[in-house]
Amino acid sequence: MKAKCYCMTKVFAVCMLILVLVFAGCKKKASHSPDETDQSEQELEVIESANGPDYLEKVIKIWSQGNKNVAVDELLQINWQKKPYFSDESVFNLIEQEYVLLSSSEQADHMNTLTKGLKPLCFYVIELGREAANIGNIEKAKLYFQAVYNCGEFLTENPNGVKIIQLIGKALMKKSSQELNNLK
């Protein structure tokens, strides 16, 4: 009886595995409609990873490496509705109580990420928005200002988050809101 039960368990497990693989394959095929333009799997992976773990941190790193235009383009690509999630050790995931427990050098590293990375990137994007508005490209200006606003809004979402991150987020929201209102 035990042998029969063990054999049935194996058969059940194999059947479940096959079903999972079949459904995964069907789901993958169903996601491509005939109306979509053909893209290589690699291009699709890049698009899907735009909101992967650490995406905003990667954008900040690109900025910090001096690739301003690439960083701006990547910031504009973030779909803030999907929320860029971060690794557990990310400063963006910390709550204030965790942050104060970090060593002073770890706190300084996180502050450098914000003050030498994110803040200048967002202020640069605001400046690009102003330049676009000055030449009459209002839609592009709105795109720049809205990206900064969305970033600021994201930084303020966690009421228990690190206070300096919340303050930076509020400042970004305020500045970009002023710029958006100036367009009207």
**Taking 50 as the threshold, does the pLDDT of residue 31 lie above it?**
no
In the numeric block, which tokens belong to residue 160? 């228990």
In the numeric block, which tokens belong to residue 157? 């979402």
Q: Which domain holds residue 66?
A: 50-182
Number of structural domains the chain divides into: 2
Task: Return the number of other C-beta atoms located less than 10 Å from residue 45's C-beta.
Answer: 11
pLDDT at position 45, please? 36
Distance (Å, whole) CA 89 – CA 179: 33
> What counts of helices (H) and strands (E) characterise the chain?
9, 0
90 assigned to some structural domain: yes
**DSSP label at residue 45:** H
pLDDT at position 35, please? 37
pLDDT at position 5, please? 45
In the numeric block, which tokens belong to residue 42? 């690699």
**Taking 60 as the threshold, does the pLDDT of residue 175 lie above it?**
yes
If asked whether residues 83 and 29 sit together in one domain, one would say no
pLDDT at position 85, please? 62
Contact (Cβ atoms closer than 8 angstroms) between residue 152 and residue 92:
no
pLDDT at position 81, please? 79
Write out pLDDT tens, residues 109-148. 888 888 889 999 999 999 999 999 999 999 999 999 999 9
pLDDT at position 137, please? 96
The model's confidence at residue 37, banded by pLDDT at 50, 70 and 90, is very low
If asked whether residues 81 and 144 sit together in one domain, one would say yes
If asked whether residues 173 and 140 sit together in one domain, one would say yes
Q: φ and ψ at 176, to 5 degrees?
A: -70, -35
If asked whether residues 93 and 137 sit together in one domain, one would say yes
The model's confidence at residue 149, banded by pLDDT at 50, 70 and 90, is very high
CA atoms within 13 A on the CB side of 60: 20
- Helices (DSSP H) in 135-162: which residue ranges? 138-155
pLDDT at position 21, please? 32
With vertex at residue 180, the alpha carbon angle to CA 179 and CA 184, rounded to the nearest 5 degrees, is: 110
38 assigned to some structural domain: no
Write out pLDDT tens, residues 55-111. 888 899 899 999 999 999 999 998 887 765 676 667 888 889 999 999 999 999 888
If asked whether residues 18 and 94 sit together in one domain, one would say no
If asked whether residues 82 and 107 sit together in one domain, one would say yes
Average pLDDT score over residue span 2-19:
41
If asked whether residues 23 and 106 sit together in one domain, one would say no
If asked whether residues 57 and 113 sit together in one domain, one would say yes
pLDDT at position 49, please? 47
Task: Return the number of other C-beta atoms located less than 10 Å from residue 151's C-beta.
Answer: 24
